[in-house]
């Protein structure tokens, strides 16, 4: 079963290969699943990927979303 660890690992893999749209799609899939919400590690993995492209606008959007997420402290 896909859990937070598996999702975050897949997101990291897509991020390393600069396939950020795929990584972002997994984040959206996670957010749609109440039992598998993204955490700080998930967000920072994605933020780092967007920064490597670089797409600082998308990185900033995720940072703002992470700050608003009560699971991310």
Cα separation, 37 vs 60, whole angstroms? 20
Helix (H) or strand (E) holding 44: helix 40-52
The pTM is what? 0.93
- 42-54 per-position pLDDT tens digit: 999 999 999 999 9
Nearest to 13 by CA among 51, 55, 56, 42: 42
pLDDT band at 1 (very low <50, low <70, confident <90, very high): confident
């Amino acid at each position: 079963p896909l859990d937070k660890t598996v999702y975050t690992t897949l997101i990291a893999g897509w991020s390393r290969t600069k396939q950020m749209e795929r990584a972002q799609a997994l984040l959206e899939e996670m957010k749609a699943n109440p039992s598998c919400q993204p955490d700080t590690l998930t967000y920072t993995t994605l933020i780092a990927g967007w920064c490597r492209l670089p797409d600082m606008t998308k990185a900033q959007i995720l940072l703002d979303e992470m700050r608003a997420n009560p699971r991310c402290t």
